[in-house]
Amino acid sequence: MDMDRVTFRKSSFSNTQSSCVELAVGRRQTQIRDSKRVAAGTLTIGAKPYAAWLGAVKNGDLDRPAT
């Protein structure tokens, strides 16, 4: 993924203080970065692991247990 050509997006649930995680989703990989520390770099994961993680999030598999 050419980092000069990607568009990072953040959740619409994020606040306006720029304290969030941003994603740039591509066909082969996804880049993840901290919006407060952009210069710190990105975490890169492949498309299949990203799809598995996203499925787990949508399914509620990663939700915190009720207290």
Q: Do residues 9 and 22 lie in contact, with contact meaning Cβ atoms separated by under 8 Å?
A: yes
The confidence score (pLDDT) of residue 2 equals 57
Q: What is the greatest pairwise CA distance in the chain?
A: 44
By C-alpha distance, which of 6, 49, 56 is closest to 31? 6
Q: What is the pLDDT of residues 18-28, one digit of tens each?
A: 678 899 999 99
**Is pLDDT of 49 > 60?**
yes
**Is pLDDT of 48 > 70?**
yes
Q: Which of 3-7, 28-32, 39-43, 50-54 has the lowest mean pLDDT?
A: 3-7
H-assigned helices in 1-67: 47-59
Q: Could you tell me the pLDDT band of residue 13, with boundaries at 50, 70 and 90?
A: confident
